[in-house]
Chains A and B, each alone.
With several copies, the nearest count.
Chain A
Amino acid sequence: MQVRLVQGPFRPDEELASFIAGLEGDGAVVSFIGLARPADAEGHEVTGLLLDSYAGMTEASLDGIARDALARFPVSAVRIVHRCGAILPGEAIVFAAAAAPHRRAAFEAADYLMDRLKTDAALWKREDGAGGSKWIEPTAADRSDRERWSA
């Protein structure tokens, strides 16, 4: 399955291996792995993340983003694996990959997948730290990254 929302830890290396194993004659694979950082944007320690999800809606949002990438770029396959629930620093949050005959399309599709995921994935993120918990919303940078693709 190329789009999955998973509750527990997953291994990006295994995702890459199985994504590559499913390809037929592509020459280029670009993958993005998002890892839970041990510090927030202000440098304060983060002890964990909570990614709240809405069963059915969250999966549909990931599916839509994957489908849009396949329609928009000359890529032959994309994969999105996204964690939800409680996540510890250093764990993988997201794996997004694209494969194509040539590298430019694979890079652009992976870049697009991430910009869309940051603003359009139906997920709600809480950072937990020594100083308390904080719900996160897309940053101005996330929104302007997303705008790059709206032409």
Chain B
Amino acid sequence: MKILFFGRLAESLGREVELALPEPGCTVAELRLRLGGAVASPAVRACIDRAMVPETTRVLPHHEVAFVPPLSGG
């Protein structure tokens, strides 16, 4: 599945990476561990289908997953 990045994460990791999701899916926290690096920072939030979600949320194959740094507003 595709994982999207924004802001300074996109600058260091690119706009997206392709990642094989384990069979029964995994939690956001597990996905974050696999990605590691800048994504591991607690300031970075996970989004599923364009909404921020908690760490325990299960990621499924049809989800659009993104990791985003703190919002900086306008």
Contact = CB atoms under 8 A, between A and B. Distances in A.
Check A-B contact in the complex, CB < 8 A. Answer: yes
A117 B47 contact: no
A124 B69 contact: yes
A51 to B, nearest CB: 7
A124 B68 contact: yes
A119 B71 CA distance: 6
A125 B23 CA distance: 37
A85 B65 CA distance: 22
A108 interface: no
B68 to A, nearest CB: 7
Contacts of A126: 7-8, 11
A123 B66 contact: no
A54 B66 CA distance: 9
Interface stretch (A7-15, A37-45, A133-141): A133-141
Nearest to B4: A54
Contacts of B69: 124, 135, 137
B42 interface: no
Interface string A111-124: 00000011111111
Interface string B48-74: 001100000000000000101111111
Interface of A: 34, 51-54, 56-57, 60-61, 82-83, 93-94, 117-126, 135-138, 142
